């Protein structure tokens, strides 16, 4: 992940992580073609001009718009899941092409994160997003929005159209959902949204959607709907 000004003909040294990946995983050599991830929505095709044990340099020769970004703008609002499940959700959401992820604290969220631990978690999740982009060949870095309580979010000025609350017990079938180009998806925690939270979201015009007859784990639900929405 370079995050710098890149253009055709830019020559640059790669950072430590990129060098390690080239040397130990890809066993790259001078002359090999690579695509640089800059997070700005472009593919930068480059050639390796120098590679040693701890350093590597490249020359960019093409800046192109990628063909692999999802045509849908999917924004995932995921209740913070326990243990390392949230890492998994974030990694899979990026692979599935979401545009943003907002970690949510809800009444039944079992995870309490004081400010300093939350800051470290956010930094950790940001790293997961970057490596999931690199692994899946995405060029646009999805946004990790500040973790927020559902109550606060509802009072903020988020744009609510086409919002969906995933509800295992009632709601329309995902197959009947109208086709939009943008979706905000709310996934509850292990214990689900409380009745008050569900009705608060419905008052914001959120549609309740059911993903079939079985109760999915919180880490499965977001992945499932991202997949179905893009397959319709």
- The pairing of beta strand 43-51 with beta strand 73-79: unpaired
Q: Is 107 near ligand SAM (CB under 6 A)?
A: no
Tell me which of 26, 62, 217, 227 binds ligand SAM, using CB under 6 A. 217
- Show contacts with ligand SAM in window 179-198 (CB under 6 A): 187-188, 190-193
Query: Which listed residue (43, 134, 167, 197) binds ligand SAM by CB under 6 A?
Result: 167
Q: Residue 25, SS3?
A: helix
Q: Are 129 and 90 in contact (CB under 8 A)?
A: yes
CB of 147 to ligand SAM, least distance (A): 17
Write down the least CB distance from residue 162 to ligand SAM, Å: 17
Q: Which of 69, 87, 210, 228 binds ligand SAM (CB under 6 A)?
A: 210
Residue 71, φ and ψ in degrees, nearest 5 = -70, -10
Q: Is 167 helix (H, G, I), strand (E, B) or coil?
A: coil
- φ and ψ of 205, to 5 deg: 70, 20
The answer to whether 83 touches 172, Cβ cutoff 8 Å, is no
Extract the tokens encoding 214. 């079985």
Only segment of 29-37, 44-52, 94-102, 161-169 that touches ligand SAM (CB under 6 A): 161-169
Smaller CB distance to ligand SAM: residue 134 or 167? 167
Nearer to ligand SAM by Cβ, of 94 and 187: the residue is 187
In angstroms, what is the minimal distance from the CB of 3 to ligand SAM? 33
Note whether 211 binds ligand SAM by CB under 6 A.
yes
Structural contact between residues 30 and 84, judged by C-beta atoms closer than 8 angstroms:
no
Q: How far is the CB of 81 from ligand SAM (least distance, A)?
A: 9
5/13 Cα distance (integer angstroms): 13
Q: Should residue 136 be labelled a site residue for ligand SAM when binding is judged by CB under 6 A?
A: no
Give the distance from CA 19 to its chain's centroid.
25
Question: What is the number of the residue whose Cβ is closest to ligand SAM?
Answer: 188
Closer CB to ligand SAM, residue 72 or residue 207?
207
> 85-95 and 115-136 are packed helices; what angle lies between their axes, rounded to 10 degrees?
40
Minimum Å gap between C-beta 167 and ligand SAM is: 5
**d(Cα 77, Cα 165) in Å, to the nearest integer?**
9
Contact residues toward ligand SAM (CB under 6 A) are 166-168, 187-188, 190-193, 210-212, 214-218, 221
């Amino acid at each position: 992940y370079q995050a710098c000004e890149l253009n055709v003909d830019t020559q640059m040294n790669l950072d430590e992580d990129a060098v390690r990946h080239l040397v130990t995983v890809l066993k790259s050599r001078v002359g090999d073609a690579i695509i640089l991830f800059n997070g700005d929505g472009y593919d930068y095709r480059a050639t390796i001009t120098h590679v040693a044990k701890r350093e590597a340099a490249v020359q960019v020769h093409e800046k192109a718009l990628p063909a692999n970004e999802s045509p849908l703008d999917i924004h995932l609002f995921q209740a913070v899941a326990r243990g390392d499940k949230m890492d998994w959700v974030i990694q899979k959401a990026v692979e599935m092409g979401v545009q943003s992820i907002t970690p949510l604290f809800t009444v039944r969220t079992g995870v309490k994160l004081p400010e300093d631990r939350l800051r470290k978690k956010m930094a950790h999740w940001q790293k997961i997003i970057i490596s999931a982009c690199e692994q899946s060949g995405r060029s646009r870095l999805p946004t990790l929005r500040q973790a927020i309580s559902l109550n606060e979010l509802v009072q903020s000025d988020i744009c609510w159209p086409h919002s969906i609350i995933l509800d295992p017990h009632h709601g329309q079938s995902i197959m009947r959902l109208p086709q939009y180009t943008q979706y905000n998806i709310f996934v509850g925690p292990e214990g689900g949204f409380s009745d008050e939270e569900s009705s608060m979201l419905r008052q914001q015009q959120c549609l309740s959607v059911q993903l079939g007859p079985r109760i999915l784990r919180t880490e499965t639900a977001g992945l499932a709907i991202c997949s179905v929405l893009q397959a319709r």
